[in-house]
Chains A and B, each alone.
Chain A
Amino acid sequence: MAVLEISGVSKHFGAIQALTNVSLSLNPGEVVGLMGDNGAGKSTLVKIVAGNYPPSSGTIQMLGRKVVFHKPADARAEGIEIVYQDLALCDNLTAAANVFLGRELTTGFGSLRFLNYRTMYQRAAELFAELKSETRPRDLVRRMSGGQRQAVAIARTRLSEPKIVLMDEPTASISVRQVAEVLNLIRRLRDHDIAVVLISHRMPDVFAVSDKIVVLRRGEKVADKAIAKSSPEEVTGLITGAIESA
């Protein structure tokens, strides 16, 4: 049973056709590398799955059941976590505050609830340690390097036990050591039967960790095959259009 089934999804923004009739299925514990040139529609597809906007046509099903998302919180409630390309962080808040944004832990009696700073700092520190990041929970995001900010955004996905994790360029600005950690994290997610969609421009990363490769070009899917049956040269050709489809 596919954990995610996208059927015939199209999306247009006014006159701009971002996606045309894209279908894709994702099984539990499967890592799909989503590649394509800039403007191919990768981020749009992932944002539709994450609930940012509805598809113009087509359906999304999870475990055989049709789902409709009106806002990102709906998708999160169904077990979909996402790391956005621009990270979606608030510069004026601490790292821990950003990790728990929208899901703050509280303590108190009855309806009088106060923020539970101690537990949030503790949990955030554990998540950063797991990612082998030097990020400190009390630091303001404003003062952080790109890699530390990325760690904060990725740490968010570890707050719940999601069914699907979507990652939009998660290794874009991080160090070599941390890239290895992110790839290890993706493998650990796979071991936990969590499906991962990885958008990345970095061919070695995608080939290192994916089971399946999907290539989009100008809003259309031009390839959907097992990684073992493909090669970096073929994928490059598909992205640029040198190879029509595969």
Chain B
Amino acid sequence: MAMTLEESIHKQVHGNLLSWLVSRQTFWVSVAAVLAFVILSLSSNVFATQQNLFNVTRNFAFVAIIALGMTAVIITGGIDLSVGAVLALSGMVIGMSMNIGTPFWLAVPLALGVSLLVGAFNGVMTAYIGMPSFVVTLGMLSIARSLAMVLSNNRMVYEFGPDQAQLLTLGGGFISVGLPFLNPVRVPNPVLFLVVMTLIVGLAFRWTKWGRHLFAIGGNEQAANLTGVPVRRVKLSVYMFCSLCAGIAGILEVGWLGTITTSLGQGMELTVIAASVIGGANLTGGVGTAFGAVVGAALIEVIRNSLILLGISTFWQGTFVGSFIIIAVLFDRLRIRTAND
């Protein structure tokens, strides 16, 4: 029997919110993260303290910020292996330029500009020249890191010129949020950046043409081309956005550490990709959320932190994180397969 127009518009595959939630990988990963948080609070009397949580959230904020950009790239069906190197390069640029006296308000755009340039290179090679993103960003990984090392001249830098205080506050500072009935909570600045960026990116994915085009390109690039989606322009913008996220994280991390070393961000790209994939982004493209990127990063950091607090050797971290990547995605694939039977 035919439905009225109204009914057909409102009918969705999932009858209610709960069934929709249960079908999403991100939901299950969030549950796992909350569970881990609870178990840890009970089994360690250090975990749920203000100081420890302050550190945990700040650590994962850097990975999560970049994971936002990485998720956007993964949604289009690409990958960006150069983010760790871009973080180092951006940190190096701001550190070195402030070291020789450049004012803060000039050094920040300089560092971000360099990040955007790297992103533009990645984007042009991938979108306009048509090279696989894996190859381009793999090459850029080496190039950017070597440029960062060239800039550093192999020195460790501690002084950041007249505006040093601004840089250190940006990355290492916090704001106090007063809560009713509790002591004021200290929220690290990088976490603030993360929250704002997550809101903006989440909004962009769901509510803008740009976001819709990301998913279209990841779903069927040929169809997107044929229907007039500006595919090359969108792909260029997404690689620039990802590098920008890495650049922002680089500036914040240098501010927090108070020093720059050439090993900054080494190997971070794999953690970021792991965070995005655990959070629900599908490497074949067309699927991903901003919230998922943050939850994935949070889960990885909670695992890391818990291993430390429980006294387990840090060498085991890789086993846990790697297993979680496989389990999170395996779970999702099995669920889809049984749903299709």
Contacts and interface: CB of A to CB of B under 8 A. Distances in A.
Given A52-B226, A125-B9, A138-B12, A92 B218 contact: yes
B327 interface: no
Given A92-B287, A128-B8, A101 B209 contact: no
A93 interface: yes
B5 A129 contact: yes
B227 A138 contact: no
B222 interface: yes
Contacts of A102: 224, 227-229
A93 B9 contact: no
Contacts of A103: 227-228
B219 interface: yes
Interface in B1-53: 5, 8-13
B286 interface: yes
Nearest to A117: B207
Given A72-B226, A102-B228, A115 B9 contact: no
B220 interface: yes
B222 A88 contact: yes
A140 B13 contact: yes
Contacts, number: 88
A121 B9 CA distance: 6
Interface residues of B, number: 27
A229 interface: no
Contacts of B225: 71-72
Interface string A67-99: 000011100100000001001111111000100
A201 interface: no
B244 interface: no
Contacts of A126: 5
A68 to B, nearest CB: 17
Contact of B220 (A52, A91, A121): A91
B216 interface: yes
Interface string B208-221: 11001001101110
Nearest to B286: A92
Nearest to B209: A104
A101 B223 contact: yes
Contacts of A84: 226
Interface string B170-214: 000000000000000000000000000000000000111100100
Given A136-B11, A138-B10, 20 more contacts: A71-B228, A72-B228, A88-B222, A88-B227, A89-B223, A90-B220, A90-B286, A92-B215, A92-B219, A93-B215, A93-B219, A101-B227, A102-B224, A103-B227, A113-B209, A121-B9, A136-B8, A136-B12, A138-B13, A156-B227
Interface of A: 52, 71-73, 76, 84, 87-93, 97, 101-104, 106, 113-115, 121-122, 125-126, 128-129, 136-140, 143, 156
27 contacts: A71-B228, A72-B228, A76-B228, A90-B286, A91-B219, A91-B220, A92-B215, A92-B286, A92-B287, A93-B215, A101-B223, A101-B224, A102-B224, A102-B227, A113-B209, A115-B208, A115-B209, A122-B9, A125-B8, A125-B9, A136-B9, A136-B11, A136-B12, A138-B11, A139-B12, A140-B13, A156-B227
